[in-house]
């Protein structure tokens, strides 16, 4: 992990324990009246998160915004929702604003009018023509983030760890398609709380573990199973020697598995309808 992470605001101010996070979320429920709270609690929280992820990526693709910037926007969104409960303000507006702020912070600024009109063309029922709506929401977002804006991502750790793997034992060199798979798993990890609970290198290690250990049977079907087994053993040796916390990594792996299990039952259309009920 780069030296700057250890003194970063991400580590000093935005690294939470599961308990704190759960308490914060519980505390947020008080602001709703019982009727609304019931509608919100009826939503599958995983599905809501997948839905928001889809919104961010849709807007991002239409504006050709890079993955890394969208990842920053997603962390903003997750942090924001530890302060302001989902359902309290228009999620489409928050999504557009998070992308807008992330673009600026990552030095690829987009004009506020461009974001507004793109978001409006995607979600005309929820986004107005008026760019000052995003400007106002920007304030609110930055404030709720505690004005901490720099985000460290696992992508760099992925490259560093995979290099270290190749150096330590040729047998566990990651194939290009394995890196690809791990990379997109990291993209998916932004749907979860992992980035509030773990430093980036743990998330990277968890996704590598999933690729190399859990998916290796699928990925390497052509390899005799003895070879698969010995490769996994070699990886576990590397892991054991790496100083990366095993327990914490496995915890992340389980969170990712929960995500994929819940994703299987996700229907975008149904989720859109249910969310519409909450925010009107």
Partner 1 sequence: MNDAVMAKYTKDKKVGEGTFAVVYVGKQVKTDRKIAIKQIKEGEFKDGVDMSAIREIKFLQEIRHANVIELIDVFTAGPRLSMVLEFLPTDLEGLIKDTKILFRLGDVKAWMLMATRGLHHCHRLQILHRDLKPNNLLISPTGELKIADFGLARQMPNPKDKMTPTVVTRWYRAPELLFGARYYTPAVDVWSLGLIFAELMLRLPYCPGEDDIDQIDKTFRAFGTPTEEEWPGLTSLPAYPKTVNKYPHPSVQELKMRFSAATENGLELFQAMTELNPADRVSCEEALTADYFTEFPRPTKLAELPGRTE
Q: Judge whether 100 and 134 are in contact, CB under 8 Å.
A: yes
What's the closest the beta carbon of residue 265 comes to partner 1, in angstroms? 38
Strand, helix or coil for residue 46:
helix
64: its two tokens:
């050709």
Q: How far is the CB of 4 from partner 1 (least distance, A)?
A: 4
The enclosing H or E element of 4 equals helix 3-6
Q: Could you tell me the smallest distance in angstroms from the CB atom of residue 131 to partner 1?
A: 7
Q: By CB under 8 A, name the binding residues for partner 1.
A: 2-4, 7-9, 100-101, 104-105, 107, 109, 111-112, 131-132, 134-136, 138-139, 142-143, 146-150
CB of 9 to partner 1, least distance (A): 5
Q: How far is the CB of 231 from partner 1 (least distance, A)?
A: 31
CB closer to partner 1 out of 3 and 218: 3
Residue 280 DSSP symbol: -
Q: Which is nearer to partner 1, 40 or 134 (CB)?
A: 134
Q: Which residue has the tokens 């005309």?
A: 124
DSSP per-residue codes, 102-170? HHHHTT----HHHHHHHHHHH-TTT--S-THHHHHHHHHHHHHTTT------HHHHHHHHHHHHHHH-G
* C-alpha to C-alpha distance for 158 and 155, rounded to whole angstroms: 5
């Amino acid at each position: 992990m780069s030296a700057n992470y250890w003194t970063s605001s991400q580590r000093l101010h935005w690294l939470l324990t599961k308990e704190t996070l759960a308490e914060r979320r519980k505390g947020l429920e008080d602001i709703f009246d019982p009727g609304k709270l019931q509608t919100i609690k009826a939503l599958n929280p995983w599905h809501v998160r997948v839905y928001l992820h889809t919104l961010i990526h849709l807007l991002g693709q239409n504006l050709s915004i890079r993955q890394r910037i969208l990842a920053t926007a997603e962390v903003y969104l997750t942090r924001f929702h530890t302060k302001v409960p989902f359902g309290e303000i228009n999620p489409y507006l928050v999504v557009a604003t998070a992308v807008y702020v992330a673009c600026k912070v990552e030095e690829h600024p987009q004009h506020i009018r461009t974001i507004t009109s793109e978001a409006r063309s995607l979600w005309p029922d929820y986004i107005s023509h008026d760019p000052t709506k995003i400007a106002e929401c920007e304030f609110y977002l930055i404030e709720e983030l505690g004005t901490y804006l720099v985000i460290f991502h696992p992508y760099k750790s992925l490259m560093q760890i995979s290099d270290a793997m190749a150096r330590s034992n040729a047998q566990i060199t990651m194939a290009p398609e394995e890196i690809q798979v791990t990379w997109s798993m990291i993209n998916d990890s932004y749907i979860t709380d992992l980035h509030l609970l773990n430093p980036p290198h743990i998330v990277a290690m968890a996704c590598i573990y999933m690729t190399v250990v859990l998916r290796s049977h699928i990925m390497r079907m052509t390899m005799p199973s003895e070879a698969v087994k010995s490769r996994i053993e070699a990886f576990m040796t590397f892991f054991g020697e790496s100083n990366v916390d095993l327990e914490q990594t496995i915890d992340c792996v389980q969170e990712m598995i929960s995500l994929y299990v819940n994703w299987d039952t996700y229907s975008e259309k149904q989720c859109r309808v249910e969310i519409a009920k909450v925010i009107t």
